[in-house]
Structure 1
Amino acid sequence: MRHSVNRPPTPDDRDNRRKDLTLEEIINIKLIETGEKERLMELLRERLIDCGWKYEMRTLCRGLIKKKGRKNVTVDDLIHVITPKGRASIPDSLKAELLQRIRAFLVPNS
């Protein structure tokens, strides 16, 4: 089995665990091996900055820190509050674009 800092281990053909992989895991491995996952992540970062999402999340974090006091807020507190709001506020058009790119990757001649 090969190991890397940047990706999870890729099972060898000899490895019996390949039979136990879910479709999601197989797709994830293929995305990582081809470098497509990193390209999608970069696209996501760019689009979130362009639409103001990153600024909105930063503002929410700063507001929480002001409310509770700088010394009374942990990273876990921020994650707990911001994660649901962040996920819910990602534009549907961006989700659709990423989904379309993943579909195009999985079925290249569609």
Structure 2
Amino acid sequence: MRHSVNRPPTPDARDDQEKDPTFQEIVNIKLIESGEKERLMELLRERLIECGWKDEMKALCRAFIKKKGRNNVTVDDLIHLITPKGRASVPDYIKAELLQRIQTFLVSAAL
């Protein structure tokens, strides 16, 4: 198919379908618009501090920096170290509480 130099090609029908937001995107938009996302983030911060998760991650970073040397560690190094361990060590009760809050929001928002 040849395209005109002066106008872009006509979009295919499947291109229009790809632009429709997914359910996850719709939920994220609703969470942001309502301010619930920020409330959930604050709740998560509080719970992670309360259970000692934040201190545990801080200690892990400090130990890694001490081992490698302060000048030999980048932020990317710390992110690669912390991300899998941090996600795996979030207590299940915190995940369950957040999931329950999201489910309650979805019911109240009639999504």
Q: TM-score, normalised by structure 2?
A: 0.81
Identical columns (%): 76
Q: Which residue of 2 aligns with 1:84?
A: 84
Structure with larger Rg: 2
Deviations 1:19-65 (A, max 9, x none): 61000000000000000000000000000000000000000000000
- Aligned match of 1:72: 72
C-alpha separation in 2, matches of 1:73 and 1:64 = 8
| CA distance, structure 2, for counterparts of residue 40 and residue 62 of structure 1 | 28
DSSP 3-state at the match of 1:32: helix
**Number of corresponding residues:** 94
Choose between structure 1 and 2 for higher RCO, CA contacts under 8 A separated by at least 6 residues: 2
Structure 1 residue runs of 4+, over 4 Å off?
none
Structure 2: gaps spanning 5 or more residues: 1-15
**Counterparts of 2:100 and 2:87, CA distance in 1:** 19
Q: Which residue of 1 is the match for residue 26 of structure 2?
A: 26
Gap runs ≥5 in structure 1:
1-15
| Cα distance between partner residues in 2 of 1:45 and 1:51 | 10
TM (norm. structure 1) is: 0.81
What is the Cα-based RMSD across aligned positions, in Å?
Answer: 1.8
Question: Per the alignment, in what secondary structure is the counterpart of residue 90 of structure 1?
Answer: coil
